[in-house]
Amino acid sequence: MSIKSFHPPQRILMGPGPSDVSPRVLEALSRPTIGHLDPVFVSLMDEMKVLLKYAFQTGNELTMPVSAPGSAGMETCFVNLVEPGDKVIVCQNGVFGARMKENVERCGGIAVMVQDDWGRAVDPQKLEDALKANPDTRVVAFVHAETSTGAQSDAQTLVAIAHKYHCLTIVDAITSLGGTPLKVDEWNIDAVYSGTQKCLSCTPGLSPVSFSAQAQEKIKNRKTKVQSWFMDLNLVMGYWGGATKRAYHHTAPINALYGLHEALVILQEEGLQNAWARHQKNHLALRAGMEAMGLKFVVPEHERLPQLNAISVPEGVDEAAVRTILLSDYNLEIGAGLGAMAGKVWRIGLMGHASNPRNVRLCLGALDDVLGRLNAPIHHGVAVDAANQQLVD
Ligand SMILES: *Cc1c(COP(=O)(O)O)cnc(C)c1O
């Protein structure tokens, strides 16, 4: 047997992540590997922190990428901020809130769940009621951009309510970072984690995190050791910390960090505001095309994420067959529904590098064709024109 080199096909990634990776990032990944304590690499780490602070809009010193995917960023926040016996309110409006509950319980905490409908934002009033009923709560956690449903919650309001009741806040910003406004300092978020493969258009496998001074205070004054050695920020900071002499903690994923550095340089060149505006503009064009076809969005307009569009599958259409044809005939990947929404929705990502007019037109044209072949009840031949009208200026 002789196994040959692996060469993936060239896809267009318009699902819930990963998104298309910029060729500049792919090129950066292939640069020569150097030592993880090489002075040149240490200067890259310093620049990385500056770039991440910009992306998160924060001055937090404790801002860095965890060397593992977004789920590890989530876990880093929970294991460091939740001690055994701590009560944590988790607002759940999709798949990822359930993972937060798991994290709380595995840290020995007590999770109090506040449930909202899938496809809707977290209701601030429900959070406030839960805090009144549970005055001993230490931490409030919620997902800013629910990738499983396409709903965006009002992080600023939710954090303000949590602080009124003297709680720290953990915010999942995996899909929001770089795609929709996220202002860590202005909104006073205590702990935030993100991912690289959504709106930063980098390869998966790293998780940028940031912690406020209050969160750091809590971590320093823990009564118990963080149960995860790898994610204990007191130890990780010996490697990533600014003033300290860098000491070996783990071998950083050197080339992956070249990639993230390049992705963040691209974001800085475009400017955050411009990136947010681009995601919104392409979303509006996709929306115009979808609505012209007669397809409907799951999330009410004022709660929609521009980078993740959940579309209801029309009556009688085999949603998996549509995705299969899109992949085979157009090399185009869109996402299926998750959890309660499996089989009922498509999730179309317009994230990072993939949020561009060409992809909007391609996706609409391809859907028009495939739905036609499957005799779906839609309006044909109008979607791309409707999108073009949004894209002119
Ligand atoms: C993608 C995603 C995650 C998980 O990130 P991984 O990199 O797959 O571990 C968590 N939360 C949200 C909201 C996400 O979109």
pLDDT tens digits, 43-67: 999 999 999 999 999 999 999 999 9
Over residues 361-384, mean pLDDT: 97
Q: What is the pLDDT of residues 191-230, one digit of tens each?
A: 999 999 999 999 999 999 999 999 999 999 999 999 999 9
Q: Label residue 245 by pLDDT band (50, 70, 90).
A: confident
**Is residue 327 scored above 70 in pLDDT?**
yes
Over residues 268-275, mean pLDDT: 98
Of 269, 300, 325, which residue sits at a domain end? 269
Residue 3 lies in a domain: no
70 Cα to the center of ligand 1, angstroms: 5
Q: What is the pLDDT of residues 279-311, one digit of tens each?
A: 999 999 999 999 999 999 999 999 999 999 999
Domain range for residue 367? 272-392
Query: Could you tell me if the CB of 70 is within 6 A of ligand 1?
Result: yes
Q: What is the pLDDT of residues 131-154, one digit of tens each?
A: 999 999 999 999 999 999 999 999
* Pair 304, 256 in one domain: no
**Is residue 241 scored above 90 in pLDDT?**
no
CA pair distance 307, 23, nearest whole angstrom: 20
252 Cα to the center of ligand 1, angstroms: 21
Residue 244: predicted pLDDT:
61
Over residues 343-360, mean pLDDT: 97
Residue 9 lies in a domain: no
* Pair 311, 240 in one domain: no
Of 225, 240, 269, which residue sits at a domain end? 269
Query: Could you tell me if the CB of 346 is within 6 A of ligand 1?
Result: no
Of 215, 237, 269, which residue sits at a domain end? 269
The residues with which 7 forms a beta bridge, in sequence order, are none
Query: Could you tell me if the CB of 75 is within 6 A of ligand 1?
Result: no
CA pair distance 322, 63, nearest whole angstrom: 41
Residue 13 lies in a domain: no
Closest among 25, 66, 102, 75 to 259, alpha carbons compared: 25
Q: Label residue 393 by pLDDT band (50, 70, 90).
A: low
Q: Give the residue whose CA is nearest to atom 2 of ligand 1.
A: 174
Q: CATH number of the domain at 108, please.
A: 3.40.640.10
195 Cα to the center of ligand 1, angstroms: 7
Residue 384 lies in a domain: yes
**Is residue 358 scored above 90 in pLDDT?**
yes
* Pair 247, 348 in one domain: no
* Total domains, the chain: 2
Angle, helix 319-330 to helix 357-373, in steps of 10 degrees: 120
Integer CA distances (angstroms), 388 to 123, 359, 380, in order? 35, 12, 15
* Pair 242, 327 in one domain: no
Residue 369 lies in a domain: yes
> Are 100 and 90 contacting, i.e. CB atoms less than 8 angstroms apart?
yes
175, 176, 231, best to mutate for ligand 1 pocket (most atoms within 8 Å of CB): 175
* SS3 category, 276: helix
The residues with which 332 forms a beta bridge, in sequence order, are 12
CA pair distance 119, 36, nearest whole angstrom: 43
